A and B are shown apart, each in its own frame.
Chain A
Amino acid sequence: MVALAAVPLWWTTTSITRLSLPEGRVKALNDKQLRFSLNISLDTNIPVSVVDNVKEGLAKRILDERLDDIFSVAVSSGLTHNPQAYEVSLNEELSGIHVEGRRLITGPESIPLLTDALANLLLANFGHQDQMVMQYAPRYRLAFSLMNEDAASGDSPLSWDVKTAITRDIQPVLQKLLALHNFTIESQVQFFAPLAFEPVNLANGSFGLSQEQLTVFVNSAEWTLCSPTESTAFIIPQWGSISICNPDKQAVSRLSQRALHPSFSVFRTQLLALLGISPLPIGMTTSDVISDWQLDALLRRRAYENAKGSKETLDSIVSLVDQIEGMPVGKDVTDDVRGALDALDSMYAVARDSPQLALNYSARAFTRVSRAFFNPGMLALLYFPPEHNLAVYTPLLAPVSVPLVAAVFREVSKWRRSRRQSA
């Protein structure tokens, strides 16, 4: 009776909340594909043969890079004045290729290079995993640090005009990137930040850092390195960049904006590289800080990466929950998964028209799906490995097994005895 009465209590206290996940919708995602349409209109003064060439060339390039299920290209002759369209026009006096806004102006002798130029601008390493580029985040924290090895030695700069340097060199880029990220800016000065190793003394009286030393510059062996030699600056993939300031002969206690400018223009270039903005193809010029072509390419690439990441994480959540039966799935997890699915659906709907909106939706999806994946409620799973269960029940299993084992021995010896007798 007591045991029966205790059953409901036992049931409620030991059951785990496992709400069902929308598995069907997650599976259906595999059939959906993010599609971007690229509308290129060429000015009427460009010969029709060139238009056809560009059309074929682009189509071939997209097919070669296996991006034909993502990009659809429409090349037309005559300017459409659609704000989303890319325009190409010819300027007889220009040599080379100039980019301005979503407009590309080519000189007459660059027309044969037009297809390649367009492909490089529009595709810009699309789909290639670049180890250097940071993972997408809607907000980045930019921290500028001035590090002195030993400020007490007397000739170290103790302050710097970082505000002006940031406003002049970094701010214009950040302004342009507002569509993708928000930035929090901060700076600090470290007066005692010694290196963990001795730099190599070079023959010409200067000091150098070897490739191995660069890897431990920030006291971590995990960061791999890609850096040009013969330079005072290097980049640490997905983390940041370092510029070594070699002060002039006379000691300065404050680094002026002029002294900081070389370092900060390096920071700007490296920041763009870390954020994944591919540089303009060689031979092209622009009057913008970052051209709309580059920005659009980055928007498409980030949207694609986020969508891919969200999809993979959703798959992992579903398979993880399937695999581990004791894993609780709360309402917040299912809400996040549904929210991510909704955002992905909206993203597929708008991707053709606006890469900007697509990125916003994909970022939302990625945030929500990451939150669901790392939900602490799911970590507190009731996981008892079989070894533990066995250990707890040993006091039961051991005495119970004694009569069983004894019985087996007796039976075996009896069987042997009877066989010997019959033989």
Chain B
Amino acid sequence: MYPTELLLLLLAAIPYTCLASNSAERFDELLTVRPLRDGRVATRFSFIISQADAQPRAPQMISEEDIPQHYSLFPLSLGQVLREYAVTEAHLSLNAGKWDYGRWGYPDDSAVAPGAELWAWMGDSELSSIDERWKGLRNALAGLFCASIGSLDELRTTSPAYAFRPEGALPRFSTNQTHRLRYASLPSEHVCTENLTPFLKLLPCKSSAGIASLLNPHQLFDADWHGMGIHVMWSEASGVYLQLSFQAVFDPVRLSEKQKREFSFQSLFDRTISKACPVASESSVEVDLPQNAAYSITPEPSSFRDKVGVFDIKEAQRLPLNVSMRYAEMVFQYPLDPPDAQLMDFEAMRTLTGSTQSRGRLNLSIRNNRAHEIRLIYIETMPWLVTFYLHTLELTVDGRRRDDLLTRMTYTPPEAHGRPTLFEGRLTLPAASTLRLSMDVSKAFLRYTEHPPDAQRGWDLSPAVLVPLSAGNNSASLRGRRVYTPAVLVDVATPDFSMPYNVIIMSSTLIALIFGTIFNLFTRRFKEVNIDGTTEASEQDGVIS
């Protein structure tokens, strides 16, 4: 009986080999270097691994044995997590610092929220709920990236309806398949080398070859702004698509002794590219060339494309590659404010005012830099400890009340000690003016155990997210791309954490006093004393006088 079975297996193997021969995995890497107006240099490493024939796991099949997974370029450790929790699309970013939109413009990778941010689209299934899988995904990624994403729990999870649309496509596993979003952010997360090491392990060439060899933690974590992003999505055409990106903003003026803004790979990363990654299909460095400054770039780029110099690392004679940019100026002159052209269509600032620990006022001001109207979606998520008073919501434009500029408002109220607040709305920014939005908030009084270890520091509140819907004439520029406001810190009433010990000490002293007095009374001997003055006062014979 057995030989036939074996034969069947051999036959079944033939289509497999056909599939395997045209390897469907592909790896591309790209380094973008962009000199900024304020003398800084924005760099972005982008590693794209795609599996053309792969599909996300259907949540209906989660209880059954998964099909064998064979990866050659795609990282196995991440693949396991995605299969285990049947995740269709996931985005994780770990950033440190505040992205300065006004000076640096829009980032190459829009995920620049301070701290940790995770959002995922997952298919609905009766077998295991999305919340269970979301919890599993959080914990698995926390373990994979050595970050405290595990604490992005129900207290911080929301499902905004508009801002976080899937960037890929959502497959239909069954006829009435629905997908749902889970979003959480943790602005107080600190990003450091322990997060970069697992990030590098996901790359096919690690940090040994290709542009990834420039990822030197000593230099990256010294940068003014740095952060990493992991994006997994799926589309019919490209299959499962993983983009790993690392962004850093360096300040060569700060690093140079002569206040010059010239830079090279050696000065920025303290490394050069000496080997090409053998499995990368495309591997290149793109340097934005300055438009209004005299400069020289060495070596000569392989090709030029629209004010961008392109270096192809696959050309062996270019290695080792150390791109260096020099300017024909003695000292870098910082541009005077305000510069001629605004980089962003709009700029937002958010503050929390109010001096008491129980009340405050949330202020958001958005300046429209363009001469046309801009419409955008505004999303505010708050942990339950900050509650909005929606009736105090006020919108003003140049001092005049304009409540009509906020439309399509949805509000998910918080649940004490549980669900966070979610506020979404559509804002219209009148041309070339500043919109101010403000409302009263109340700060909760927390339970003793709910305070974080550094309670006096306060709570970091997630950034507000603004998504432009249309930007008038040049609508292609920013449409659908998220802009984050900086995180704010809220000061809630903190108890005196030494209080229990004070109580113990005080009551102990009290009891000790009572005990001493009663003990004294019990052990003292009382004697009669003659007071006629002739006899001596009797000698005291008590234990304690």
Give the contacting residue for A192; candidates B80, B209, B508; CB below 8 A.
B209
A153 to chain B, nearest CB (A): 9
A159 to B511, CA, bound (A): 78
Residues in A whose Cβ lies below 8 Å from that of B520 = 403
A108 to chain B, nearest CB (A): 27
Residue of A nearest to B516 (CB): A403
- CB of B544 within 8 A of CB of A159, answer no
B203 to chain A, nearest CB (A): 9
A191 to B10, CA, bound (A): 30
Interface residues of A in 61-79 (CB under 8 A from B): none
Query: Chain B: interface residue count, which band?
Result: 35 or more
Q: Does B318 contact A (CB under 8 A)?
A: no
Give the contacting residue for A152; candidates B71, B72, B73, B275; CB below 8 A.
B275
- CB of B279 within 8 A of CB of A399, answer no
Residues in A whose Cβ lies below 8 Å from that of B519 = 403-404, 407
A400 to B75, CA, bound (A): 66
Residue of B nearest to A171 (CB): B9
Interface residues of B in 19-76 (CB under 8 A from A): 19-20, 23, 65-66, 68-73, 75-76
- CB of B71 within 8 A of CB of A163, answer no
A200 to B276, CA, bound (A): 29
Query: Contact flags (1/0) for B324-346 with A, using CB distance below 8 Å?
Result: 00000000000000000000000
Knowing A152-B277, A164-B13, A403-B519, the reply to whether A189 touches B73 (Cβ < 8 A) is: yes
Q: Does A393 contact B (CB under 8 A)?
A: yes
B2 to chain A, nearest CB (A): 6
Residues in A whose Cβ lies below 8 Å from that of B206 = 191-192
Residues in B whose Cβ lies below 8 Å from that of A287 = 2
Residue of B nearest to A172 (CB): B6
Number of A-B contacts (CB under 8 A): 129
- CB of B9 within 8 A of CB of A172, answer yes
- CB of A175 within 8 A of CB of B5, answer yes
Q: Does B543 contact A (CB under 8 A)?
A: yes
- CB of B70 within 8 A of CB of A407, answer no
Please classify the interface of chain A as helix (H, G, I), strand (E, B), loop, or mixed, using the class held by over half of its residues: helix
Q: Does A116 contact B (CB under 8 A)?
A: no
B54 to chain A, nearest CB (A): 13
- CB of B71 within 8 A of CB of A189, answer yes
A247 to chain B, nearest CB (A): 15
A188 to B279, CA, bound (A): 14
Query: Contact flags (1/0) for A382-398 with B, using CB distance below 8 Å?
Result: 00000000001101100
- CB of A191 within 8 A of CB of B70, answer no
Residues in A whose Cβ lies below 8 Å from that of B204 = 189, 191
Q: Does B295 contact A (CB under 8 A)?
A: no
Residues in A whose Cβ lies below 8 Å from that of B16 = 163-164, 167
- CB of A186 within 8 A of CB of B70, answer yes
Q: Does B538 contact A (CB under 8 A)?
A: no
Knowing A171-B9, A187-B70, the reply to whether A399 touches B23 (Cβ < 8 A) is: no
- CB of B9 within 8 A of CB of A393, answer no
Residues in B whose Cβ lies below 8 Å from that of A402 = 512, 516
- CB of B2 within 8 A of CB of A400, answer no
Q: Does B308 contact A (CB under 8 A)?
A: no
Residues in A whose Cβ lies below 8 Å from that of B13 = 163-164, 167-168
